[in-house]
Amino acid sequence: MTGEHKHSANLTYWIITIIFLIWNAFGGYDYVMTRTRNSDYLRNMGDPQVLLGWIDSFPLWAQICWPLGVWSSVAGSVLMLLRSRHAVGAFALSFAAALASFAYQWSASPPAALDTPANQAMPLVILALIAFLWWYCRRMTDRKVLA
């Protein structure tokens, strides 16, 4: 802290922080289970080989943007827990990386088993939540809850 005084965080701040820490931790779990090719986990989404074949076909830049989006959101949540203003930057990076990753996914035809309304909506939900967290952290920085 550079001599700035942090204002106290209210209960709403802590509830939002904990909920999104859990949400983003699940994103990290999903990434790890997918990248370690955990068949039991992937079977919940359909045929693991079909899913992995589709993901493996992504270009390198899309495969880099996916973990960058996931882990910068996890970092943003941890930074919120620590009440650091750097959460703003983490969520901005997460949004940009997730948007790039999802842009490729939208342009690539997913396997039929993955082309469901829920799978089509989830990227929009994720982007909306990251945008909310970026906005919320900016607001908390302005109010000096994050410093």
Ordered by start, the domain boundaries in the chain are: 11-142
**Cα 84 to Cα 72: distance, rounded to the nearest angstrom:** 14
| Its pTM surpasses 0.85 | yes
User: pLDDT confidence of 3, banded at 50, 70, 90?
Assistant: low
Angle between the N-to-C axes of helices 48-56 and 11-35, in degrees from 0 to 180, rounded to the nearest 10: 90
Distances in Å between the alpha carbon of 75 and those of 72, 111, 119, 134? Answer: 5, 31, 25, 12
pLDDT in tens, 59-100: 999 999 999 999 999 999 999 999 999 999 999 999 999 999
User: pLDDT confidence of 4, banded at 50, 70, 90?
Assistant: low
The single-letter DSSP state of residue 8 is: P
Distances in Å between the alpha carbon of 132 and those of 20, 45, 50? Answer: 11, 27, 33
pLDDT of residue 51 exceeding 50:
yes
* Torsion on CA atoms 117, 120, 123, 124, rounded to nearest 10: -70
Angle between the N-to-C axes of helices 117-142 and 60-81, in degrees from 0 to 180, rounded to the nearest 10: 40
Buried b (16+ CB within 10 A) or exposed e, 40-65: eebeeeeebebbeebbeebeeebbeb
